Amino acid sequence: MKLYRITIIPISSFCSPLQSDTFFGAFCWSYLYRYGERSLLGLISDHKANKPDIIFSNAFPHGMLPIPAGINEGRGVHQKPSSKQERYKKYIETKKSKQSSTIPLDAFNKMINGCIPDTTVNIGPEVRSNIIWRNMVNRKTDTVDNTEGGSSLFETEQFFSSEGFDVYIYTTLPEKILNPVLTDMFRSGIGAQRSIGKGAFEITESLTEFNGFEFPSTPNAFLSLSNFIPKKEDPVNGHYRTFVKYPKVSHISSDKDSPFKKPLIFLKAGSTFFDDPVKSFYGSCIEKIALKDGRVSDDIIISAYTIAIPCSIDHSPHFQD
């Protein structure tokens, strides 16, 4: 497998976080339209067999990468705050630290080699947002009428940014197959509300193999570039934060189906886990999470794999937020 990096810039507002599993879902639709159902089913089969043909990272601000979780855990002396004011200050600092912070590539390379560089933390590009109102569509009639007499209006938050994002891609697929599918998927839209033109991006830097990481000679852990769900055999000792995701299907096939997939608990990108030797990817393929034609589908999956970056970190107690 080869590691690539592309840079994308929004050409419309977008309504979903730019996350690895969302990219994979959009890729599958574009892959289907380009190469047909048989090719897509082969891609899905490989995912189920723990042999993914393609793994996406989350999107990061251009030139930036996530701060490794726990890279500085256990260093120094931790004193219990003595007063209510100190405890509140500690709470605010902890809350801020849970934001999605990133650092430049050169600082990231130092951190995965066990060094703590003196660098500025970047919370992310300037992203503005506002609320748009939408009409709820009746799935039986494909109109906005509401047969139950309630309101059909709902609100959706949309985001705007003029800055670029980097997406890393670990894949076995050749560039002649990747390039047109990636172009299609980003132009067609990523995530929610793409049917009305949201989530469209332009690839500003062509697909090129990425060799910018400086891996440690004796890694004892890995860092995740993607949100992921570990499989049973994956390591459990590490540093991570979790979140619950409520994914949806793009469309339903019958009145017996639901637009909602099962809710899932993901580990966030930037998580670190101890392992020896370090593998090139971790995670799992989540199956049987949605209905199709009134039955639990074998073809609808969620890619919960992560690109793994070898790193060297101090051993410290396992924790979870």
- Phi (first) and psi of residue 23, to 5 degrees: -60, -45
CB 94 within 8 A of CB 294: no
Cα–Cα distance measured from residue 47 to residue 24, given in angstroms and rounded to the nearest whole number: 11
User: What's phi and psi for 247, nearest 5 deg?
Assistant: -75, 160
Evaluate whether 194 touches 30 at the Cβ level (below 8 Å).
Answer: no
Q: What single DSSP character describes residue 235?
A: -
Q: Compute the half-sphere exposure of residue 161: CA atoms within 13 Å on the CB side of its CA.
A: 22
Give the chain's end-to-end CA distance (angstroms, integer).
33
Query: Residues 279, 302, 298, CA angle at the centre, nearest 5°?
Result: 115
3-state SS class at 161: coil
> Tokens 């509300």 label which residue?
193
pLDDT (tens place) for every residue of the chain, 321 residues total: 999 999 998 877 665 788 999 999 999 999 999 999 999 999 999 999 999 999 999 999 999 999 998 765 444 334 455 566 665 555 445 444 444 588 999 999 999 998 887 665 555 555 666 565 566 666 566 666 665 555 566 656 666 666 789 999 999 999 999 999 999 999 988 876 666 666 688 899 778 899 999 999 999 999 999 999 999 999 999 999 999 988 777 666 666 666 777 889 999 999 999 999 999 999 999 998 877 766 777 778 999 999 999 999 875 544 444
Tokens encoding 148 = 């139950």
Residues, the chain, total? 321
Number of C-beta neighbours around residue 120 at 10 A: 7
Question: Other CB atoms closer than 10 Å to residue 232's CB: what's the count?
Answer: 6
DSSP 23-79: HHHHHHHHHHHHH-HHHHHHHHHHHHTT--SEEEEEEEETTEEEPPTTTTTT-S---
Q: Write out the DSSP string of 85-135.
A: HHHHHHHHHHHHHTS--EEEHHHHHHHTTT-------B--S--EEEEEEEE
User: Could you give the C-alpha distances from 50 to 12, 44, 86, 149, 277, in angstroms and in order?
Assistant: 35, 10, 48, 47, 18
